[in-house]
Structure 1
């Protein structure tokens, strides 16, 4: 009997690959090893749990047992893979070695939390997984004032969700605008104004220096600004790919695990997917590129080599106070913007000097115009 395909991780990328592969191959043995409980859940919905009155369990589509049964895999939960040997093709966990025919590293990414000074660093909450939500749901539900560190897409979504249920929110970022990697200044300014109108305390150009405890609260100190007294601090400051296993195995890494357009790493028969994978110097942590990557790798390992091809990707911001969909290049300095605005919202088109469309943002009730514009953009990969 041949060795199984081994998958490390049970996030969206890993489970999407299993689902895609099983549509093509019903019989090849698959062993999936995960450090958590292995439930299949909707990670993009984590930021909406509180405004919808949900518990963590409400996001679960299938338990680990249900998933393993439906897709005919061996699923090993609550287990950390300790070592990968790419020459002998085995992984080590629970004091045993398990050989693979192919290995997929889908270890994802963890929330980035700076090494602030102060005695309350261990009290900072992150919400990047179902386990983290489960551990912190009660604390967040009972908190009156919450400070969110990071005004990117996820931080802004969390701030809006919590403000919707009556929490007092302070949103901090060292950047000068909201969602600096996605929004041009004129739209970021509008988002900023909307947040203020909804009573979110927005503090940009903010350098956090330390976080301490005081009188059953946390005190967030800022450089040359007044302290923030808060019940909870949530960090949404970006993600750090989990690459330590690959690095220890001698697999090429940079910010993520370096893969080619076949999703293969520098080691034979070893692939990487999802938030931990870096292709052409980029890490794509959004749903669409992960789905397409999982499908391409499923076809490859089912016997039809399929390079990854990424079309332009649509990003829908879950910001109901200012609904936005965007794609392409939207923050470059040399963009020429063409804006069409009426009572239903606006469409902002980004062009080069020669009038080539390279990106767009649609707002409010103009969402239906996103897909025709998306088809006009050049391929992403």
Structure 2
């Protein structure tokens, strides 16, 4: 018997890897070591269903407790791995030194902290893990004056959830528009309009200079001197890959753990997957980090295949979704060097799509309440399908047929 597989990180990526290994007939030991006190759980509900009370500690786990015993998965929670020794092929967790044949670093990412005076005041919260969500849920149990700092997916989802719970929400975004790194301008405009109709105020091009309060937060002061009353502040300004343990072990990092097309790090026998892994992809001109459930699941499956002796370069098309009020936003592809954005449908209807092109090929698709367009969009992006702006904008044009046409690839 060998030392088996050790997975550092108890999230979606690590659990998928372990599950795929057992499904593929892997017979050696598999140990999952997670820093949080919970078994692997779903993260998407944290900013939505958990805040509303529709989901909680009992409903977000990805698997029932019996699953781990039934599949001989040694799950260790509330434990942090402090060090990796690639030469000895061991990790250190507390007083224990644990050997491995294959090590997978799936440590995810940590919230980016707001570097302004007053950020440490009571009532300034972040949202990354289940404990964060439960704390925020408690804070939103009564109506609040909420300032959300950051106009990305998490910030807008929190603003929507807070509004539905009876609070007044103001979103502050430093960039000229919300969702600037993730969606097309036309899509962002429609989402902003719907938030406004629901009572959310959104301020763009607005930096934060400080947070005020005597012990607890009372206001957020913007760079132009505007003072926003607040008794609750939620910061959602992005994340930082949790790559410190790999960097300390001499494993190559670059704002994330650097991996190759098989998700292997610079250390023999060590892989990295999920939010922490910076990987090469044909969908981008340079290695990227992708923070999504899809990426975590697909990378877990890919590394399992490699360990099982069936390696295949990771080539999954990225996709993501976000639920806000009555809007389901879905994106696929990576919008690098976009040359043309073409709207299909009526943005005022809250059911439309935006196709992003480079060199006449579809490289990304954003959809709002158009799940069929999203599914076809995945196929178009994967194939690099050539489409004209006129074809995309024509509602009678058959996208499905175009996606199946090899001559357009």
Question: What is the TM-score of this pair, normalised by structure 1?
Answer: 0.91
Q: Corresponding residue for 1:319?
A: 324
Residues 98 and 115 of structure 1: CA distance in aligned 2, closer, same or farther (over 3 Å):
same
CA distance in structure 2 between the partners assigned to 1:269 and 1:358 by the alignment: 34
Farther-moved stretch of structure 1 (140-149 vs 8-17) = 140-149
Alpha-carbon distance in 1 for matches of 2:277, 2:122 = 28
- Of the structure 1 ranges 247-256 and 230-239, higher mean CA displacement relative to structure 2 is found in 230-239
User: Quick one: structure 1 residues 331 and 149, their matched pair in 2 at CA, closer, same or farther if it must change by over 3 Å?
Assistant: farther
Alignment correspondent of 2:380: 376
Following superposition, the deviation at residue 50 of structure 1 comes to 2.6
Superimposed CA distance per residue, residues 292-320 of structure 1 (whole angstroms, 9 cap, x where no aligned partner): 11111111112222321213x33322124
Looking at structure 2, the residues matched to 148 and 228 of structure 1 have their Cα atoms a distance apart, in angstroms, of 11
Of the candidates 301, 317, 332, which is equivalent to residue 295 of structure 1? Answer: 301
For residues 293 and 156 of structure 1, the distance between their equivalents in structure 2, rounded to whole angstroms, comes to 27
Go from structure 1 to structure 2 and tell me whether the alpha carbon gap of 1:372 and 1:259 turns closer, same or farther (over 3 Å shift): same
- Distance 1:178-1:331 versus aligned 2 partners, 3 A rule: farther
Distance change in 2, residues 1:241/1:145 (3 Å): same
Mean Cα displacement is larger for which, 197-206 or 25-34?
Answer: 25-34
Note the alpha carbon deviations across 1:46-94, whole angstroms, 9 max, x for none: 111233544343323446x534313212222211111111111111122
What CA distance in whole angstroms lies between the structure 2 residues aligned with 1:43 and 1:175?
26
Separation (CA, whole Å) in 2 of partners of 1:51 and 1:78? 26
After superposition, residues 116-155 of structure 1 pair within 5 angstroms as 116-118=116-118, 120-121=120-121, 123-142=123-142, 144-155=144-155
Query: Which of 281, 292, 295 is 1:286 aligned to?
Result: 292
Work out the CA distance in 2 between the residues paired with 1:133 and 1:336. Answer: 36
- Does the 8 A contact of 1:179 with 1:188 survive in 2? yes
Of 337, 343, 350, the residue aligned with 2:356 is 350
Give the equivalent residue in structure 2 for 1:200.
200
- For residues 105-130 of structure 1, the C-alpha deviation after alignment (integer angstroms, 9 at most, x for no partner) is 11110111122112635652122111
C-alpha distance after superposition, 1:337-362 (max 9, x if no partner): 2433396832332334x533233233
Separation (CA, whole Å) in 1 of partners of 2:216 and 2:7: 43
Partner deviation per Cα, 1:230-267 (whole Å, 9 max, x = no partner): 12111111111101100000000001000111111000
Instruction: Tell me the SS of whatever aligns to 1:131.
Output: helix
Write out aligned runs for 1:174-213 (5 A).
174-213=174-213
CA distance in 1, matches of 2:14, 2:336: 31
Alignment correspondent of 1:111: 111
Q: What secondary structure is seen at the aligned counterpart in 1 of 2:381?
A: coil
Q: Indicate yes or no: 2:100 matched with 1:100.
A: yes
What residue number does 1:340 align with? 345
Could you tell me how far apart the structure 2 residues matched to 1:151 and 1:297 are? 33
Partner residue, 1:267:
267
Which moved further from structure 2: 12-21 or 141-150? 141-150
Per-residue deviation, residues 6-28 of structure 1 (Å, max 9, x unmatched): 11110111111111111012521
Q: Partner of 1:33 in structure 2?
A: 33
State TM-score, norm by structure 2: 0.85
- 1:363 is aligned, of 364, 368, 373, to 368
Q: Is the 8 A contact 1:8 1:33 kept in 2?
A: yes
Q: What's the offset of the Cα at 1:210?
A: 1.2
Q: Aligned partners of 1:102 and 1:331: how far apart in 2?
A: 34
Q: Shift of the alpha carbon at 1:39?
A: 1.5
8 Å CA contact 2:258, 2:277 repeated in 1: yes
Give the stretch that moved more between structures: 95-104 or 269-278. 95-104
Residue 50 of structure 1 aligns with which residue? 51
Question: Number of aligned pairs?
Answer: 376
Output the aligned Cα RMSD: 2.3
- Return the alpha-carbon distance in structure 1 between the equivalents of residues 368 and 134 of structure 2: 33
The aligned counterpart of 1:73 is 73
